[in-house]
Chain A
Amino acid sequence: MWLLLLLGHTAVAQESRNAEEQYFTQRVLPILHEHCYECHSHASGEASGNLMVDSLAALTSGGTRGAAIDPTHLEASLLLKAIEYSDTELQMPPTEQLEVTQIEILRQWIVQGAFMPAELHGDATANPSVEQGRQSAAQSHWAYQLPKKWVGDNAHLTQSLDNPIDAIVTSRLTVDGLTLSPPATRLVLLRRLSYDLTGLPPSLELSQEFLDDPRDDRSATEGVIDRLLASPSFGERWARMWMDVARYADNKGYVFQEDREYPGAHLYRSWLIDAFNQDLPYDQFVTKQLAADLLIGHSDDTAGSNSTDAIADLPALGFLTLGRRFLNNKHDIIDDRLDVVARGLMGMTLGCARCHDHKYDPVTQADYYAMFGVFLNTDEPGGEPWPHRMVDSDERRDSFILIRGSPGNRGAQVPRRFVSLLAPEEKPFTGGSGRLELAAHIASPQNPLTARVMANRIWLQLTGSSLVESPSDFGLRSAEPKQLALLDHLASAFIDNDWSVKHLIRTIVTSQVYQQSSWHRADAYAVDPENFLYWKMNRRRLDFEAFRDTLLVRAGELDQTMHGKSEAITTAPFLRRRTVYAYIDRQNLPQLFRTFDLASPDTHSPGRAQTSVPQQGLYMLNSDFVDELSRQLASRAEAACAQPSEQLSWMFQQVQCRLPTERELELMTDFLNPSAERANTASSSSLLVQLAGALLAANELAYID
C-alpha cells in the first residue's frame, strides 16, 4: 500500500509540473513570442535595454533597469509593472498595451513563480531553444531509430521455441520468474483463430474436422491456419480493420444542400478486400493508396503491374479522398488527408503543427505546409468508372506557411517535401505533386515508423493489446514499449518478408504466445496484472462486426456474397450480409453503431473503445433484428429435431459450438417447462424463440477466450 500511495504522489507532482509547463508553452510563450521576442531575444539578436526575456536566468539577471523578475517579490516584478502600464516611464510593449487577458496570463505566470521549461533555463548568453531540446530528445527517441533485428542466441531458439516471438517473450518473462501459460484447447484455439483471421466463428464442419484431426496439435493447427488465411473472408475481416484507419464512410458529412453521397466508396472497400486476400505487399498497399494514379504507365513500375492492373488500382485513392468534407473547406480537407497519412501510416501527429511548431515532437510548421503542398497540387476529377480518384493538378504551387493556421495570415512559402525529421536533407519533391515521392518515403525500409506502426496494429488486432500505448502516436510522448524487442522483431521481419501481411499474421498466430490459454493465473497476475508481458492470452470481446456476423451465422442466415454497394443494416428488411458491407453514414451515424463502439468515421481512428452499456442490452432483448434471428434459429431447431429436449441441445450446439453441460441442460429444460400459471401465457414455440434469444445474448458468444 505504501508503494502504491507513493506512486500516486509522484504522479500528482508530475502532473502539476506538466500543468505548469503546459501553461507556459500554451499560454505564456505565444505572448512572449509575439510581443516581446522581437526586441528581447536571442532568436532576434535584439536585447533592447540589455534585456532578454527568453530564459528565466535572463529575466532574473535583468537589463539596465534591473531584474525583470524578482524571485523574492514576484508581485513587484518590473516585468509586471511594465505590461500593466502602471508606470508611465516603463510601458511594454511600447506600441500598444497587451489585451487584458494576456496581461492576466502573464501576471498569473509571474506570481506563481515564472516557471520556464528546462530547455529555456540556464546561461542567458547561451542560445538554448525549445527546438534544440526537441531535436536532441528526438535523436534518442525509440520510435525514430530503425527497428533492431532480433539476434537471439541459439540457446533461446530451441526446437520447441523456434519462433522468435516465443523466444523474445519467454526470455522477458523469465526475468520476472514467469512462464507462458499452457496451450489453449483445440476448441478454444479454433474459435480464436477463426475470428482473428476471418471475423467469423468456425463452421461446425471445420470444428469437427479439426477436433478429429489425428495429427499432432502443431500440424493440425497449421493446417487450419493456412485454410483460414486462404479464405476470402480473411480480406473482409482485415479490410474492416483498415477502414478504421482510413476513416471510411459512404458519404461526405455535411456539405450544405449538396449531394453528400460518395457513390463509389464501396470500390475502395472492394480494393482493400482484394488487396488483403491477395496479400499485396504493404509497401505497395501504401503506395497505391497514396499515388495509384501516378503508377499508371510508369515505366519503372514498382508494383510490377501492367497498365490495366494499374488502372484497376485507382479506387485505392479512396484512402485520401473519402474523408469528411468540412463544408468544402479546402484547408480542412487537406488537413484531414495529412492526418490520415501521418497518424494512420506513421503514428505521427503532424496535425499539431498546423498552427505552430509541434509542442512536443520535432515537427515544424514548415514540415506541415511542405506536406500540405503535396495535396494542394491535386484535383479530383470524379465520374465513372473511378469516381473518387485523384490526379495531379496541371500547375504546380507551393504552400505558404499559414501563421496560426489562418488562411489570411501568410508566412514564407515552403517547397513540397517530406518531414525533415525523417528526411533531414529537406530535398524538395520534383515529380508532380510529389505524392509518389511521399509514398516512397513512407513505404520505405528506412522509415523507422511505417513498419512498426503496421506491425503494432496487426499485433493489436490479434492479441487485443497494443505494444505501443498509443497506436497512432509514436511521438516523443509515447513511452518506450515494454516489449520493444518484440515490436522491433515484428517490424523488421515484416520488412524482410517483403512486407507480407499474411506472413506476419501467420508468424504471430503460429506462436506459442498467441496459442496459449487465456486462463487466469494468480501467481502471474500478482507480478504483471496488466499482462504487459504476455503470460497469457487476453480474453477479448467481439467487436460489432464480428458480433453481428456471428448472430447471422448462428441463426443460419448469413449471406456471404462479397463486394458491391453498401447497404443499410439498421432498417427492415434487415440485411443478411456481413457487417463490413454496412452503409456508413458519416453525418448521422446510426445509434446502433455508436452503441456498439464502432470507430467514428470522422477522422482516422487508432482503436475502438469497448463499453458495456444498457443500450446494447436493449438491442439484444428487443430489437426486431435479433427477434428475427431468434425465430429463425428456433424454427431451424424445430425442423432439425422433433423433441423439445433435442431441439434445445441442437440449438445450444449450434450457437456455442459445444454440447451443453448437465446444469445448462437443466436450466434450459426448466425454461421450456414453465410452472402451470405461466404455461398458458406463452406457447412452447415462443419459449423456444426466447431461449434462442438468450443463447444469442450470452456472454459466451460475445467473448473469445
Chain B
Amino acid sequence: MVEVSKETPFSISRRELLCRSGMGFGSLALQHLLGEAGPAGLKAAEQSGEAQRAALGGNPLLPRLPHFAATAKRVIHIFANGGPSHVDTFDPKPAIATYAGQPMPGETPRTERKTGALFPSPFKFRRYGESGLEVSELFRHTARHADDLCVIRSMYADVPNHEPSLLLMNTGEARLVRPSMGSWLTYGLGTDNQNLPAFVAMCSGGYPIQESQNWQAGFLPGIYQGTYIDTKHETIDKLIENVRNERVSLADQRRQLDLLQNLNRLHQAQRSEDPQLEARIQSYELAYRMQMEAAEVFDVSRESQHVLDAYGPGVQARQLLIARRLLEHGVRYVQVWHGQGQPWDNHDDIEVQHRKLAGQCDRAIAALLDDLKQRGMLEETLVIWGGEFGRTPTVELPKEGSNQGRINGRDHNHWGFTMWLAGGGVRGGYAHGATDEFGFKAIENRVHVHDLHATLLKLLGFDHEKFTYRWAGRDFRLTDVHGRVVPELIA
C-alpha cells in the first residue's frame, strides 16, 4: 500500500493528474497509477471520480489543487436574503427622483406583484474613494472600501420569486436538486483544516427560505453539504453537534480514546492491508482535536476589545467575526445569512426597514474588510455580497394578503440588480455594467447568475466547463450548460 501524504513527492503527480483529469473522471486509471486499491464498496457509488477517491482515503476533504493557479482560495458569501434594493444601495438612479410619482415610460416589466409609479430612493448617495464609486448612506461604512469593491450593477436572474432565485443563486438551478456552490468548491478543493467543517452556513434564529437546500450537497456525497450553524446561540456545544462532552474531562476522554485505539490496533494487526481501518482510526483522532479547535474558533470572546468594538454589537457582527476566524483557520467556504426567513424583503416601509437592516451589518462588513486586509487575507479571500435579486424602482401597490398596503415599499426585481465582490483577485473600485435609467432592467454588460458563477469559479481556479461530476448518466456542472466568465471583473 502506497501511503500518499502531502509530503511525498508522489503527491505532486497525483495532484497534477487530478487537475488534468478535470476532477470528474479518469480517476480509475489514476488509482491504478498510484497503486491504490479501492475498497470494494466504492464501486457502489454511481459516479467515478471524487466519491471513489473519497471512499479511498476515507477522508474526502483533504486539500486539493484546482485546474489552474487561483487568486482566491476561500470564500465568504454575505447573503442579504430577501432581496436588497439596488437603487437604494449601490446603483444610484437620479432619474427616479426626476420622474417621481409618474409611471415609468413604456411598459413596466412584470414582477411578482403589481407596482405603480416611480418611487425615489429616500437615501443619499455620494462618491467614495479614488474610484469615486457611488454608494448610498446605508452602506457608508462599507463604502470606505470603495476602491476594493467590484460592484456588478447589471446582474439579472430568471424569475421574480424567492424560492427559485435563492436556489439559482446558490446552486445554479432554480428547482431541481443540485449541489450548492460551497459544496462544489469543497468537493473540488477539499479544506485546509480537518478539525473544522469545510463549508459553514450561518443563519441566526432558523433557516432562510428554501432552508438547508441553499447549502445542499445535492448529488455530491453528503459530507460536502454545508454545516448549518444557528448563530443565535453563543456557546460552542449549541453551535456544533456533539462537539463537547460535559460528562468527562478531556484527559479522561484521551484515556478512553487510547484504549479504543489500542483495541483497534490489535484488530488492525491482522488486517494491515486494509486502508479503511486506518482511516476510521484517524477519524477519531481528528474528532478529538476538533473538540478543542472548534471551541476555540467559534469563541469570539478571544478577540481583542478593539476588534470587537470595530465589528460592533449584534448577531451580524458576531457571525461575521466568527466567519473571519473560520476562514483564518482554513475553512473553505462560509456563508453568512442576514437571518431567518427573508429579512431584506421590504414590500412595505422600505425606508425604515432597509435602514434598520443595513444598520445591523454595514459596520461589521466594513470591519471585516479592514480585518481581512490587516491580516493579509483579503488578497486570497473572495468576499461576495448580495441577495437573490433586487427590488423595483417603482412602488409596490397594495394587495390584500400580500403587503400592508402602505405604498412605501418595493417589489422583487430579477430584471436587474446589484452584487459586489471584493478581494480574491477581483477588480476593485470598479462598477460593471448598468441598468436602465430607472434601474429596472440590466441593459449594459449584463451578468446572469450563471455568468457570476463561471467567474467565481475562475477566480477559484476552475474552468467552469470542465469542473464536472458524473451523475445519472451526465457530467454535471455548477453552470449546467450556461455561463461565461466576465473578464472585466477580474483584476
Shortest C-beta distance, B300 to chain A (Å), equals: 22
Interface string of A474-488 (1 = CB under 8 A from B): 010100000000000
Q: Which residues of A contact B32 (CB under 8 A)?
A: 4, 7
Question: Which A residue's beta carbon lies closest to that of B50?
Answer: A609
Could you say which residues of chain A place their CB within 8 Å of the CB of B107? none
Which residues of chain A come closer than 8 Å to B484, judged between CB atoms?
101, 104
Report chain B residues within 8 Å CB of A608.
44-45
For the complex, is A538 an interface residue (Cβ under 8 Å from B)?
A: yes
Q: Given A7-B32, A8-B30, A361-B473, are A618 and B41 neighbors across the interface (CB < 8 Å)? A: no
Within the assembled complex, what's the spacing in Å between the Cα atoms of A138 and B251?
63
For B237-253 the 0/1 string (1 means CB < 8 A from A) is 00001111101110111
Q: How far in angstroms is the closest Cβ of chain B from A402?
A: 14
Near A by CB (< 8 A), chain B positions 460-477 give: 465-466, 472-475
A540-B41, A603-B177 known; A609+B263 contact, CB < 8 A: no
| 8 Å CB interface, A651-705 against B | 661, 663-664, 667-668, 671, 674, 678, 681-682, 686, 690-691, 693-695, 697-700, 702-703, 705
Residues of chain B within 8 A of A610, CB atoms compared = 39, 41-42, 44, 55, 276
- Pick the interface stretch among A222-230, A304-312, A434-442, A459-467: A459-467
Contacting residues of chain A (326-356) with chain B, CB-CB under 8 angstroms: 326-327, 329, 332, 335, 339, 343, 349, 351-352
B291 touches A12 (CB 8 A): no
Residues of A within 8 A of B465 (CB): 23
A541 at the interface (CB under 8 A from B): yes
Residues of A within 8 A of B247 (CB): 627, 686
Contacting residues, chain A, for B82 (C-beta < 8 A) = none
Q: Which of B1-47 contact A (CB under 8 A)?
A: 17, 20-22, 25-26, 29-30, 32-33, 35, 37-47
- Answer whether A663 and B266 are a contact pair too, CB < 8 Å, given A598-B222, A607-B46: yes
Instruction: Give Cα distance in the complex from A469 to B255, angstroms.
Output: 43
Tell me the bound Cα distance from A326 to B163 in angstroms.
Answer: 10
Contact B175 A329 (CB under 8 A): yes
Q: Once the chains are docked, how many angstroms separate the CA of A339 from the CA of B176?
A: 13
Cα of A602 to Cα of B253 in the assembled complex, Å: 38
Q: Is the CB of B61 within 8 A of A613?
A: yes
Q: Which residues of B contact A540 (CB under 8 A)?
A: 40-41
- Using known A-B contacts A256-B163, A520-B273, determine if residue A671 contacts B244 with beta carbons closer than 8 Å: no
Interface residue stretch chosen among A203-211, A290-298, A372-380, A524-532:
A524-532
Cβ-defined contact, B472 with A352, below 8 A: yes
The contact of A349 among B164, B197, B219, B474, by CB within 8 Å, is B474
B97 interface residue per 8 A CB criterion = no
CA distance A15 to B194 in the complex (A): 31
Q: What is the CB-to-nearest-CB distance from A23 to chain B, in angstroms, rounded to a whole number?
A: 8
Structural contact, A622 and B243, CB atoms closer than 8 A: yes
Task: Judge if B286 is at the interface, Cβ distance under 8 Å.
Answer: yes
Which residues on B sit within 8 Å (CB–CB) of A681?
249, 251-252
* Mask of B313-324 contacts with A, CB within 8 angstroms, 1/0: 000000000000
Q: Confirm or deny: B287 has a beta carbon within 8 angstroms of a beta carbon on chain A.
A: yes
A611 interface hit (Cβ, 8 Å): yes
Contact of B264 among A7, A661, A699 (CB under 8 A): A699
B283 close to chain A: CB less than 8 A: yes
Contact of B225 among A475, A525, A592, A594 (CB under 8 A): A594
Contact between A612 and B283, CB atoms less than 8 A apart? yes
Contacts of A104 in B (CB 8 A): 484
Determine the residue in chain A with the shortest Cβ distance to B281: A699
Q: Which of B83-91, B208-216, B381-389, B432-440 binds A?
A: B208-216
Chain B contacts for A14, CB-based, 8 A: 26
Interface status of B110 (Cβ within 8 A of chain A):
no
Contact flags (1/0) for A534-555 with B, using CB distance below 8 Å? 0000111100000000000000
Nearest Cβ distance between residue A259 and chain B, in whole angstroms?
A: 15
With A611-B58, A611-B221, A612-B283 in contact, is A538–B41 under 8 Å at CB? yes
- A588 at interface by CB-CB < 8 Å: yes
A22 and B25 CA atoms in complex are apart in Å by 13
Q: Do residues A332 and B175 form an inter-chain contact, with CB atoms below 8 A?
A: yes
Interface pair A697/B213, CB less than 8 Å apart: no
- Cα of A329 to Cα of B175 in the assembled complex, Å: 8
A-facing residues in B255-308 (Cβ within 8 Å): 255-257, 259-260, 262-264, 266-268, 271-274, 276-277, 279-284, 286-291
Q: Given that A254-B213, A470-B46 are known contacts, is A525 also in contact with B40, CB under 8 Å in the complex?
A: no
How many Å from the CB of A554 to the closest CB on chain B? 15
- A614: chain B residues at CB < 8 Å are 194-195, 283-284, 286-287, 289-290
Taking the complex as formed, is A5 at the interface, i.e. its CB lies under 8 A from any CB of chain B?
yes
Residue of A nearest to B195 (CB): A614
B112 to chain A, nearest CB (A): 13
Query: Inside 8 A of B243's CB, which chain A residues have their CB?
Result: 618, 622
- CB pair B473 A349 closer than 8 Å: yes
- Given contacts A327-B163, A541-B41, A622-B243, are A472 and B472 in contact (CB under 8 A)? yes
Residues of chain B with a CB closer than 8 A to A11's CB: 21, 26, 29-30, 33
Contact A15 B273 (CB under 8 A): no
> What residues on A are CB-neighbors of B223 within 8 Å?
594-595, 597, 609, 611, 613
How far, in whole Å, are A473 and B45 apart by their CA atoms in the complex? Answer: 11
B343 within 8 A of A: no
Asked if residues A613 and B283 are in contact (CB atoms below 8 Å), the reply is: yes
Q: Find chain B residues with CB under 8 A from A23 CB.
A: 465
**Count of chain B residues with Cβ under 8 Å from any Cβ of A?**
101
Given contacts A15-B22, A472-B472, contact A603 B219 (CB under 8 A): yes
Give complex CA distance A466, B197 in Å.
31
Contacts of B58 in A (CB 8 A): 611-612
Determine whether B103 belongs to the interface, using a CB cutoff of 8 Å to chain A: no
Q: Which residues of A contact B46 (CB under 8 A)?
A: 470-473, 606-607
Task: Given A8-B33, A520-B271, check contact A690 B41 (CB 8 Å).
Answer: no
B441 CB, nearest partner CB in chain A, Å: 18
A3: nearest chain-B partner, CB-CB: B32
Which A-chain residue is minimally distant from B256 (CB atoms)? Answer: A690
Taking CB atoms and an 8 Å cut-off, the chain A residues in 562-583 that contact chain B are: none
* Complex: A695 Cα to B44 Cα, angstroms: 29
Name the residue in B51, B228, B249 with the highest tally of chain A Cβ atoms < 10 Å from its Cβ: B51
Q: Are A698 and B267 in contact (CB under 8 A)?
A: yes
* Bound Cα distance A12, B21 (Å): 7
Known A-B contacts A472-B472, A520-B274, A623-B242; the reply to A609 vs B51 at CB < 8 A is yes
Most buried by A among B40, B255, B276, B290: B40
| Contact A607-B45, Cβ < 8 Å, known A7-B32, A621-B287 | yes
- Given A327-B164, A674-B255: A667 and B40 within 8 A (CB)? no
CA A690 – CA B244 in complex, angstroms? 15
- Cβ–Cβ contact A699 & B280, under 8 A: yes
Flag if B40 contacts A19 (CB, 8 Å): no
Cβ–Cβ < 8 Å partners of B252 in chain A: 678, 681-682, 690
User: Chain B contacts of A697 at CB under 8 A?
Assistant: 260, 284
Q: In whole Å, how far is B317's beta carbon from the nearest beta carbon of chain A?
A: 26
Q: Which residue of A lies closest to B21 (CB)?
A: A15
Q: Which chain A residues lie closer than 8 Å to B184 at the CB level?
A: none
| Chain A neighbourhood of B271, CB < 8 A | 520, 539, 705
Q: Is A617 an interface residue (CB 8 A)?
A: yes
Chain A residues with CB under 8 Å of B213's CB are 253-254, 587
A262 at the interface (CB under 8 A from B): no
Using A352-B472, A470-B46, A622-B242 as known contacts, say yes or no to A529 and B37 having CB atoms under 8 A apart.
yes
Cβ–Cβ < 8 Å partners of A329 in chain B? 175
Q: 11 more A-B contacts (CB under 8 A) besides A610-B41, A618-B243, A620-B287?
A: A101-B484, A466-B44, A471-B46, A531-B37, A587-B211, A589-B212, A613-B223, A614-B283, A690-B252, A695-B263, A700-B264
A-B contact pairs, 10 of them (CB 8 A): A4-B32, A18-B25, A326-B175, A349-B473, A600-B219, A609-B45, A621-B287, A622-B244, A668-B259, A690-B248
Q: Which 7 A-B pairs have the closest CB atoms?
A: A349-B473, A617-B287, A607-B44, A538-B40, A529-B37, A11-B29, A614-B286
